[in-house]
Amino acid sequence: MRPDTARSVEAWKNSSFLYQPGGSNGWNQSHYFQLLQSEQQQLTWEASTRKLAFQSKLNNVIAESVPYHPQTNNVPTRYLYNNNRIFRTVFVQGVAVAVFDPLTGQPWYNSDGAQRYGSQNNNDWAFIFPTNTTDQRKKVMQFWMMPFHAGITYCS
């Protein structure tokens, strides 16, 4: 079956079929190169097999940072992951960074002890970096620029 080309010579511009030798039985109405230009939500595209799969779960992350005391500029910061508080702290000057794995959506657990990746201390689910000096601010930037962070989501 095909579009009626008698009405329009452009009929095939909106329809495409793919035959892939060694692929699944029957016809595949997806088109690889059109799909690459699409913005998928809740879907994972496996390029090597050219298959789509639904993501297993949508994770909800809320990051809050609100001035707490005008005289001291203390800022309570908290992260909620699927409505469970995973991190809360109050600090004067600095950045708290939560890191989420791009494949699982799970937050990184900061378990290797104090000063991990140049952070200030061991705070289970976040990396705290003071920002009082230029050198301290450089540590935050170096953390964000580490090569293993490709595709990772941050909250700071």
Domains of the chain, by residue range, sit at 16-54, 61-155
DSSP track, the chain:
----TTT-TTGGGS---B--TTS-SS-B---HHHHHTS--SSEEEETTTTEEEE-S----EEEEE---BTTTTBEEEEEEETTEEEEEEEESS-EEEEEE-TTT-PBPP--S-TTGGG-SS-BTTBEEE--SSHHHHHHHHHHHH-GGGTT-EEE-
In a structure prediction context, what are the per-residue pLDDT tens digits for the chain, which is 156 residues long? 455 556 665 555 555 556 667 766 654 556 666 677 777 666 777 778 777 777 777 777 777 776 666 666 566 677 778 888 777 776 667 888 888 877 777 788 777 666 777 787 666 778 888 888 999 889 888 888 876 655 565 655
